[in-house]
Structures are given as C-alpha cells and as structure tokens.
Amino acid sequence: MSLLLTSCSSWERTTAVGVGSGAAIGASYGVVGNYDTKSTIILSATGAVIGAGVGFAIHKLFKEKKYSESFEKVSDPSLPEEAKKQIPILLSPKIRRRWVPPKTEGKKRHGGYWMYEIERPMRWADEQPESQESP
C-alpha cells in the first residue's frame, strides 16, 4: 500500500520499496491462506518480482509527470506544438550526502553531522557535463 502512496527519489529506492511490499504481501497471503512453506516462499518471491516492476513503473510515471508539470508551468497554452518542443529542460543537480562522525580536538567535542556536497550542478539537458580531468 505504501508503494501506491509514495515514490522515492531514485528508481533504486522505489523498486526496493516495491520488492519489500510485494514480498510481504505474498508471504502474508501464503500464511493467511494456510499454504505450506514452499508455496509461501513462492508467493513471496512472486510478489517481490511484481512489486519491483510496479515500483519501477510508478517511479517512471512520477518522473515523467514531474517533467510534464514543470513544462506546463513554463509553457504558454497558446504556443504551437512545434514551439513547445523547443522549450529546454533543466536537469536537477546531483547532491551527495555524507555522515561526518563526531570527533574530539583538544578540549572541544564536535558532534556528528551530515555534510552535503554538490557533485553535479544544475544544467540544461542539452548541455554536455563538464569534463573532470585528472592531473
């Protein structure tokens, strides 16, 4: 049920939620239906596969909907279709979150915290990413 209500930020997470939900539903059905252990495992595995497919499809649907909604916000309904196709798409930045553990420096104690780093800045979809050359 949670899969139908939410979509995670990445397809991996959404698919993982789908696998977990599907496996749980399949196992529950096996237990409630008084099936033997082998049948319950098969139902759980089948539910996991179906849940993975549904999770991936839901993520793709939400991603496409998000792009279409942002397109509708910037486009003028009176524009011809050919002009609408020429509106550029802006890609979101890629941000990495890293946990910095607590540490002690002399008489000072610094608590742990999350540090966020921009790995790829926001850019237009048709732009080539900046190459990162090694020295």
How many Å apart are CA 50 and CA 15, to the nearest integer? 10
Q: What is the largest CA-CA distance in the chain?
A: 68
What local confidence, expressed as pLDDT, does residue 96 receive? 92
Q: For residue 112, what are its two tokens?
A: 């742990």
What local confidence, expressed as pLDDT, does residue 7 receive? 45
What local confidence, expressed as pLDDT, does residue 70 receive? 53
pTM higher than 0.75: no
Please list the pLDDT of the chain residue by residue as tens digits (135 residues). 444 444 455 656 777 777 888 888 888 878 887 788 888 888 888 988 888 888 777 777 776 665 555 555 555 667 777 776 777 778 888 899 999 999 999 999 989 999 999 998 888 877 766 655 544
Domain boundaries defined on the chain = 2-84, 88-124
Q: For residue 33, what are its two tokens?
A: 């239906």
- Transcribe 35-79 into DSSP letters: --HHHHHHHHHHHHHHHHHHHHHHHHHHHHHHHHHHHHHHS-TTS
What local confidence, expressed as pLDDT, does residue 131 receive? 58
What local confidence, expressed as pLDDT, does residue 2 receive? 41
